[in-house]
Amino acid sequence: MLLSWDFKYFDKNGTERETKTSQSLLEEATYPIPMHHLIGDGALSKDPMINGLFAHKTEQAFPALSSSFQEMMPPTSAADITHHAGDTAVPQKGYIENLKEGYGFISPEDGGENLFFFHSEVLNADFNDLQIDDPVSYHLGENAKGICAVRVRILEEDIN
C-alpha cells in the first residue's frame, strides 16, 4: 500500500511550488491511495476530522473557510503593493513587532493595527539585520489585503 499526496505550496520567497509522487513509485505499489484525490474530491472535505488536519492558506483553495485565514497571509510579491501618493506625506513612526522570512509587521506608535511590510520596502538596512522592537518610520501603502507599510526606515534611538 502506498499513501501518496500531491500538493502545491508557496516557498519562503513566495514562489508557488508543487510536489508530486514519483510515477515509478506509484507503478510499483500494489495498492496506491492518492490522498489528494480522496480528500480533494469533496466527498470528505466537510468531515471535521479531515478538515482539522490542515492549516488552510487561501479561500480559493478551501472556499468553506472564513476570510480570516486569507487576511493573515501576506501578498505574494512586492509588485502587489501600491503606494499612496501623498496619503502620508509625513512618515509615520512605529516599532517592528514581528519578523518572518521576507516580511514583517510594524506596530504603529499611535497604537493602531499592526501593518505588514515586505523586505524590499526596507530602505536603509538589510532586512536580515532587523530586530523586534527596532524603531522605524514608514509611509502607508496598499496591497490586495489592505493598508500596509512602505518605504520603511530604521530610526536611530533618541538619546536624552
Q: Average pLDDT of 155-159?
A: 65
At 105 the pLDDT is 94
Name the domain boundary from 72, 87, 118.
72
Name the domain boundary from 72, 95, 112.
72
CATH of the domain at 100: 2.40.50.140
Domain shared by 118 and 62, yes or no: no
- What digits encode the pLDDT tens for the residues 23-72? 888 788 888 877 766 666 555 556 666 666 666 554 444 444 444 444 44
Q: What angle do CA 12, 25, 62 make, to 5 degrees?
A: 45
At 108 the pLDDT is 94
* For the chain, percent of residues with pLDDT exceeding 70: 64
Name residues whose C-beta falls within 8 Å of residue 83's C-beta, 6 or more positions apart in sequence: 139, 141, 150, 151
pTM of the model: 0.48
DSSP state of 59: T
Q: Is residue 160 a part of any domain in this protein?
A: no
